[in-house]
């Protein structure tokens, strides 16, 4: 199993475009952060907690969109999926190895982005404010949660990581159902970017569903913790505690993992 996981990780890592895009995004963020502190006086945590909501989410999403499809579409394009599944441990372990390798890559990308974010901001602005209440941050002035800034930073990091895991599994699910890399990139890309262009609303509606049902806003974290969340259904106001979002993400993760596993095996069975 470990050998299969290493092989799948190697397949993903050897995507030179993902590496190039990551380096370009990293350099751009360093320059943007330098420019920000040159013209603004602010504690590092303002910029650090903004990162997953803006630049960081885009950086993570694009890297995952470029890197992860190769985990499955490469077999489809070379017509080797049936051969691989017919091997000794193919049916029992291959797709599990792909999922595990993809989740490890997602973790590596997220941790790398978080380290970059923390290092750059602390370098330019220091640690000042780490033990202040969360409400000291401008975008969280109305937050109902009694957290210190450093505590929220940890919650934000873990939430962003979970959202990226779900998005990574969604990419695998789409990849398992399509032979085309461009199709995967287009479908997963639309699902990822669409919530960025929808304004926040509390009325149950198509825009509300577009904003809240994908995993994008969960990756961005802020819209869960910056104020009390609720949805208006006709004349009823339904409270949305933050725990509900985590349960929803866990359900999506399980559904996408199971869907990707089943779709890959069915396609292999059909081509054998």
Instruction: Sketch the domain layout of the chain as residue ranges.
Output: 2-271
Taking CA atoms, 269 is separated from 73, 80, 97, 143, in Å, by 16, 12, 19, 51
Distance in angstroms (rounded) separating the CA atoms of residues 60 and 68: 12
The pLDDT tens digits along the chain (272 residues) read 677 777 777 778 777 888 999 999 999 999 999 999 999 888 999 999 999 999 999 999 999 999 988 777 666 555 555 545 555 555 557 778 888 999 999 999 999 999 999 999 999 999 998 999 999 999 999 999 999 999 999 999 999 999 999 999 999 999 888 878 888 899 999 999 999 988 888 888 899 999 999 989 999 999 999 999 999 988 889 999 999 999 999 999 999 999 988 887 776 555 54
What's the whole-model pTM score?
0.90
Q: Please state, in angstroms and rounded to a whole number, the distance separating the CA atoms of residues 28 and 116.
A: 12
Q: What is the pLDDT of residue 37?
A: 93
Can you tell me the distance from the alpha carbon of 101 to that of 264, in angstroms, rounded to the nearest whole number?
Answer: 16
Q: How many CA atoms lie within 13 A of 258 on its CB side?
A: 6
Distance between CA 229 and CA 211 in Å, rounded?
A: 13
Number of helical (H) and strand (E) elements in the chain, helices listed first: 13, 2
Half-sphere exposure of 30 (CA within 13 A, CB side): 11
Distance CA 178, CA 115 (A): 34
Rounded distance between C-alpha atoms, residue 211 and residue 197, angstroms: 9
Residues 155/226, Cβ–Cβ less than 8 Å: no
> For strand 230-233 and strand 236-239, is the pairing parallel, antiparallel, or unpaired?
antiparallel
Report DSSP state, residue 148.
Answer: B
Instruction: Judge contact between 268 and 181, C-beta under 8 A.
Output: no
Nearest CA to 163 out of 242, 99, 218 is that of 218
Structure tokens at 155: 């919650």
- Give pLDDT, residue 122: 94
CB distance 227 to 143 below 8 Å: yes
pLDDT at 224: 92
Residue 52 CA to its chain's centroid (Å): 10
Q: How far apart are CA 15 and CA 36, in angstroms?
A: 32
Res 179: pLDDT = 74
């Amino acid at each position: 199993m470990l050998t299969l996981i290493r092989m799948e990780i190697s397949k993903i890592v050897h995507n030179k475009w993902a590496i190039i895009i990551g380096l370009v995004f990293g350099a751009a963020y360093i320059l943007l952060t330098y420019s920000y502190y040159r013209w603004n006086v602010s504690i590092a945590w303002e910029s650090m907690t903004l990162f997953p909501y803006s630049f960081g989410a885009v950086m993570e999403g694009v890297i995952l969109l470029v890197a992860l499809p190769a985990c499955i579409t490469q077999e489809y394009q070379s017509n080797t999926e049936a051969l691989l599944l017919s091997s000794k441990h193919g049916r029992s372990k291959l797709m599990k190895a792909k999922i595990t390798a993809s989740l490890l890559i997602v973790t590596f990308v997220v941790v790398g982005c978080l380290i970059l974010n923390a290092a750059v901001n602390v370098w330019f602005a220091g640690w000042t404010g780490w033990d202040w209440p969360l409400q000291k941050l401008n975008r969280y002035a109305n937050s109902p949660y009694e957290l210190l800034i450093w505590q929220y930073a940890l919650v934000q990091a873990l939430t962003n990581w979970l959202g990226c895991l779900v998005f990574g599994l969604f990419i695998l699910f789409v990849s398992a159902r399509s032979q085309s890399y461009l199709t995967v990139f287009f479908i997963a890309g639309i699902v990822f970017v669409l919530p960025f262009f929808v304004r926040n609303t509390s009325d149950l509606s198509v825009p509300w569903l577009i904003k809240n049902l994908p995993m994008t806003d969960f990756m961005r974290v802020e819209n869960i913790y910056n104020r009390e969340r609720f949805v208006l259904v006709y004349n009823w106001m339904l409270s949305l505690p933050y725990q509900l979002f985590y349960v929803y993400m866990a359900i999506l993760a399980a559904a996408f993992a199971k869907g990707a596993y089943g779709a890959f095996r069915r396609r292999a069975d059909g081509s054998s």
